[in-house]
């Protein structure tokens, strides 16, 4: 727990985004001390329904993206709801949203309008494809972005063909890019005194993730294809079967390959003219692969990986979720966190003097609405009126 609240303590963020990319950006900022007010629509964030599993009425999906936030529910499509948003933005540093391009502009609360009221505001938008271009304004989900950006085309095996990456990698990376962009804009504001609009799209994020395949294509002109676990530029860098379980070994240079051969009991393999340097190994990948797979089948995975790691060769057993969560290194690195019955993955960015922390469980719908609105200057009578008028919600509106 950070004694001073984290590196972003004092930063005020209004997060009106939902689903994944925007909320993940908000959670990163919140983990490091920002006061993040999550403004949900009357029916709640979509992911509140993305289950099972559920615990205390909250889905696991929502839980993984919304800790350290406070929740209030507003109808932003109404003029009164927009007036409440303006009150929340007074003194705010950052607005995070991921409405379909044009929605906020249609409501009269796009960046042009907001920047006049709040010239220091950082307005961060996460979109599917950006606002312009042939696909500009189209909606986007992670898997669609994986397909269109080319990421899916290089994932899988020659036998399987293109396969979706098993986590919403583009959504998550878009959230990270958004958080980075917010911090860059805040840094620039210290010099200019001005806020600005920034946009992160899933499509752009997907294309940016294509390393080294895009770089290889730019230089060679060859279309990358799925290679499974192996690396297009390095070998051996692959998953291997052993006596009991699979392991992954990445010998990233010739020295590591020599050590690998020694630990497998075949030091002479490193002197084979077909395998001495990486470029030769790539040319003779099939022959090397056959030799190594026969050797790995005889190995004890834990013992071999421990020796390889100690000798400087990256290697690890393929672990399932229960093993990862229970692993001593996971616990030592505080990569599983718990708070009053909540469990989640830990904070990966470890600041030495101002570390992040988990201070709040993911919020129940509109759980903090009254406190948030009082902070914004509303009286109890005014809040009751907003609830009565269908501007502020205390219970989720059922979708028909």
Q: Which residues are catalytic?
A: 171
Cβ atoms of 247 and 317 within 8 Å: the answer is yes
Which tokens sit at 50? 């993305």
Which residues does residue 98 pair with via DSSP β-bridges, in sequence order?
A: none
The rounded Cα 366 to chain-centroid distance in angstroms is: 24
Taking the C-alpha atoms of residue 320 and residue 326, their distance in angstroms, rounded to an integer, is: 10
Taking the C-alpha atoms of residue 233 and residue 157, their distance in angstroms, rounded to an integer, is: 16
Residues 6+ apart with CB under 8 A from 266: 291, 295
| DSSP sequence for 125-192 | EEESS-SSSTTTT----HHHHHHHHSTGGGSEETTTEE---SS-HHHHHHHHHHHHHHHHHHHHHHHH
Q: Which of 391, 338, 343, 344 is nearest to 366 (CA)?
A: 391
Taking the C-alpha atoms of residue 351 and residue 95, their distance in angstroms, rounded to an integer, is: 24
- Report helix angle 169-192 to 142-149, nearest 10: 90
Taking the C-alpha atoms of residue 346 and residue 342, their distance in angstroms, rounded to an integer, is: 12
Q: What is the largest CA-CA distance in the chain?
A: 84
Residues 6+ apart with CB under 8 A from 274: 280, 281, 283, 284, 287, 288
Determine the number of helices (DSSP H) and then strands (DSSP E) in the chain: 17, 16
Cβ atoms of 247 and 307 within 8 Å: the answer is no
Taking the C-alpha atoms of residue 140 and residue 17, their distance in angstroms, rounded to an integer, is: 14
Residues 6+ apart with CB under 8 A from 167: none
Taking the C-alpha atoms of residue 333 and residue 335, their distance in angstroms, rounded to an integer, is: 5
């Amino acid at each position: 727990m950070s004694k001073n609240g984290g590196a972003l303590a004092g930063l005020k963020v209004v997060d009106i985004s939902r689903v994944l990319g925007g909320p993940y950006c908000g959670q990163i900022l919140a983990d490091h001390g920002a006061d993040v007010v999550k403004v949900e629509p009357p029916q709640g964030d979509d992911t509140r329904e993305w289950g099972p599993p559920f615990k205390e009425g909250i889905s696991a999906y929502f839980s993984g993206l919304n800790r350290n936030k406070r929740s209030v529910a507003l109808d932003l499509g109404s003029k009164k709801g927009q007036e409440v948003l303006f009150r929340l933005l007074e003194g705010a540093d950052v607005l995070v949203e991921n409405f379909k391009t044009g929605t906020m502009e249609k409501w009269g609360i796009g960046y042009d309008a907001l920047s006049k009221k709040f010239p220091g505001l950082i307005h961060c938008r996460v979109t599917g494809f950006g606002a312009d271009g042939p696909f500009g304004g189209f909606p986007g989900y992670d898997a669609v972005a994986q397909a269109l950006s080319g990421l899916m085309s290089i994932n899988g095996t020659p036998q399987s063909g293109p396969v979706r990456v098993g986590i919403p990698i583009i959504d998550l990376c878009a959230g990270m890019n958004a958080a980075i962009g917010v911090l860059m804009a805040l840094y620039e504001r210290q010099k200019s005194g001005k806020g600005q609009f920034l946009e992160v799209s899933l499509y752009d994020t997907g294309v940016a993730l294509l390393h080294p395949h895009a770089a290889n294509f730019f230089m060679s002109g060859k279309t990358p294809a799925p290679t499974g676990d192996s690396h297009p530029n390095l070998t051996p860098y692959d998953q291997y079967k052993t006596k009991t379980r699979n392991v992954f070994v990445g010998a990233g240079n010739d020295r590591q390959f020599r050590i690998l051969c020694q630990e497998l009991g075949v030091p002479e393999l490193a002197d084979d003219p077909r395998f001495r340097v990486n470029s030769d190994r790539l040319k003779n990948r099939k022959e090397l692969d056959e030799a190594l797979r026969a050797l790995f089948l005889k190995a004890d995975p834990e013992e071999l990986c421990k020796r390889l790691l100690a000798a400087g060769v990256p290697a690890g057993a393929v672990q399932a979720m229960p093993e990862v969560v229970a692993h001593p290194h996971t616990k030592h690195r505080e990569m599983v966190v718990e708070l009053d019955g909540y469990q989640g993955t830990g904070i990966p960015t470890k600041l030495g003097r101002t570390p992040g922390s988990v201070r709040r469980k993911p919020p129940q719908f509109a759980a903090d609405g009254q406190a948030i609105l009082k902070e914004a200057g509303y009286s109890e009578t005014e809040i009751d009126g907003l609830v009565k008028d269908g501007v502020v919600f205390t219970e989720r509106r059922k979708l028909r």
